[in-house]
Amino acid sequence: MSRLALVSLRAQRGAILFIALIVLVAMSLAGLALMRGVDTGSLIASNLAFKQSATAAGDLGIEAGRGWLMSNGGPPLYVDIPASAYYSTFQTNVDLVGGDPTKTPFDWSTAASAGTDAAGNQVSYVIQRLCELPGDPASVNCIRASGATSNSSSTRGQASYGGYAIAAPTGAFYRITVRVTGPRNSVSIVQATVY
């Protein structure tokens, strides 16, 4: 081999090593970026699953509240029963969700408990009768449903002919608000209106 070819061969030995190290670093950075993207996607998917689980557990609270109303109907519902998380009025100054700074936030530690489901979601609920004042729904201003148990002589929301109101059975609506607290600090609020 000639002397020029031998010098040229020695000069190229270090260049390949340098290029190989640059490629290795670039591939390592690409691998780390891929792992981080996959971890973020998995975290988002699991958080969505926890949120959906908490929202589905809201049905447990709705059914518990509905059952409580069915077993405690009539005149006892004309007044507040705070020990059972039942309120006979709208409570327009109370914020159940926690997003209105002009209203008083509701203390969910005083809510009725519907228990904990298999996924670890703690379910609590509050019932509000949709009336402006406590008392008989036939004599106070309430959002009413036709076909319930008491009669009303009011013409609000009812058809009338001449000056006489048509007597129709009416009863108040109730709003059940459920707050579900689950794993990873997932919180869901579910509401249902029943009569």
Task: Note whether residue 182 is domain-resident.
Answer: yes
- Pair 88, 134: CB distance under 8 Å: yes
**Main-chain dihedrals φ then ψ at residue 89, nearest 5 degrees:** -130, 170
Q: How far apart are CA 81 and CA 136, in angstroms?
A: 15
Task: Note whether residue 114 is domain-resident.
Answer: yes
Task: Note whether residue 14 is domain-resident.
Answer: no
Look up the domain containing 129 and give its range. Answer: 57-194
Task: Note whether residue 151 is domain-resident.
Answer: yes
Calculate what percentage of the chain has a pLDDT beyond 90.
38
Q: How many domains does the structure of the chain reveal?
A: 1
Q: What is the pLDDT of residues 153-174, one digit of tens each?
A: 444 555 444 444 444 445 789 9
Q: What is the pLDDT of residues 77-125, one digit of tens each?
A: 899 999 999 999 988 889 888 888 899 999 999 999 999 998 889 999 9
Task: Note whether residue 25 is domain-resident.
Answer: no
CA 95 to chain centre: 14
Task: Note whether residue 38 is domain-resident.
Answer: no
DSSP symbols for 109-175: GGSEEEEE-TT--EEEEEEEE-BSSSS-TTTS-B-EEEEEEEEE---TTS-EETTEEPPEEEEE-EE
Tell me what the mean pLDDT of segment 27-55 comes to.
Answer: 84
Query: For residue 120, is it left (φ>0), alpha (ψ between -120 and 50) or beta?
Result: left
